[in-house]
Amino acid sequence: MTSSDREDISGIEKMLRNLYTPLQSGVSEFRVNLGNFTTAFNNKKTLNDKIKTLEQENRRISLDNQILRENQAELKRLRDIVAFKEASLATYDLLPARVISRSPNNWYQTLVIDKGSNAGVKKGMTVITPKGLVGSVGSVGHNSAHINLITDREVAVGAILQENRDTSGIIEGRGDRTFLGMINVPYYSTVKKNNRVITSGLSLTFPKGIFIGTVSEITRERGGLLMSASVKPAVDFDKLEEVLIITDYHPVDDSEENMGE
């Protein structure tokens, strides 16, 4: 057996993936086209209703956007004053990719995307959608890459609550696409239902501040020193069609440089 943290996959595995990728791309393309085809037959009323709701949402979001822009400008001024520098989602390079297939068994929660080492994807890169965290790149082929989802049983993410930053915990996958477990929450923390959970940046794999999900249930562990919570992921993993890969986040390299100095 091989170890889980080997650097790269072998030539045979890459060959096998090169064989599968075009087939899976074809199927995924076909399904998208089929979707477009059926939309054309949808009746006019549903489409009109949809446009109306989207317009309303658009208006609301533009308003939110204005407020946030103002806040961001203020934040930038204040940050300049205290000479505070922090990387955020706005500064990362994002590479879009299409999901072409999913895990062939129930043991792993993975996705296959249509970008690989030829497009500059590397192992360990963080994968997100505009809604929130998806997972990280597990292994890379020439034109495809396997992504380990955060719902996978072997993935853990350091997390904090966005509302009160002192509450920390570890998000772990339960093999279920609809909920995540949050463990090691200290008993004194004021975690409430519907609190927003974001990445803490402590696990070195994921950058700080990416939205993971909302707390749906809190339970006290036996012994009483720790609490655990159920978290509803922000991303709908069943309907994932496109993802974004953060290509320029290298926290480990940074710390190595610092150690060298």
Partner 1 sequence: MRYFLLLILPVLAIFFQSTLFNSYSIKGTIPDIVLIFVVFYSLLNNSSKGAAYGFLCGLLEDLYMGRFIGINALSKALTAYAIGRLQGNVFKENILVGVIAVLMGTVINSLLLVGISLAVSDIYNIDAGLFISIFLQCVYNSIIAVPAYIWYYNSSHNGWLRNTGENLNESRQF
List interacting residues with partner 1 (CB under 8 A). 1-2, 4, 9, 12-13, 16-17, 20, 23-24, 27-28, 31, 101-108, 110, 112, 138-139, 146, 153-156, 172-178, 181, 238
Coil, helix or strand at residue 116 = coil
b/e sequence 127-159, b meaning 16+ C-beta within 10 Å: bbbeebbbbbbbbbbebbbbbbbbbbeebbbbb
CB distance 162 to 178 below 8 Å: no
Tokens of 106: 């129930």
Residue number, 12 or 67, with CB nearest to partner 1: 12
Shortest separation between residue 31's beta carbon and partner 1, angstroms? 8
Query: Dihedrals φ, ψ of 62, to 5°?
Result: -65, -35
Residue number, 56 or 178, with CB nearest to partner 1: 178
Residue number, 122 or 174, with CB nearest to partner 1: 174
Residue found under tokens 């949050």: 182
Residue number, 29 or 55, with CB nearest to partner 1: 29
Residue number, 112 or 212, with CB nearest to partner 1: 112
Tokens of 23: 């087939």
Shortest separation between residue 141's beta carbon and partner 1, angstroms? 8
CB distance 140 to 123 below 8 Å: yes
Shortest separation between residue 160's beta carbon and partner 1, angstroms? 20
CB distance 149 to 111 below 8 Å: yes
Which residues, including other chains, have CB under 8 Å from residue 139's CB and lie 6 or more apart? 8, 9, 13, 123, 145, 146
Shortest separation between residue 119's beta carbon and partner 1, angstroms? 18
Residue number, 26 or 51, with CB nearest to partner 1: 26
Shortest separation between residue 182's beta carbon and partner 1, angstroms? 12
CB distance 100 to 116 below 8 Å: no
Residue number, 33 or 190, with CB nearest to partner 1: 33
The three-point CA angle 100-180-135 to 5° equals 35
End-to-end Cα separation, the chain, in angstroms: 39
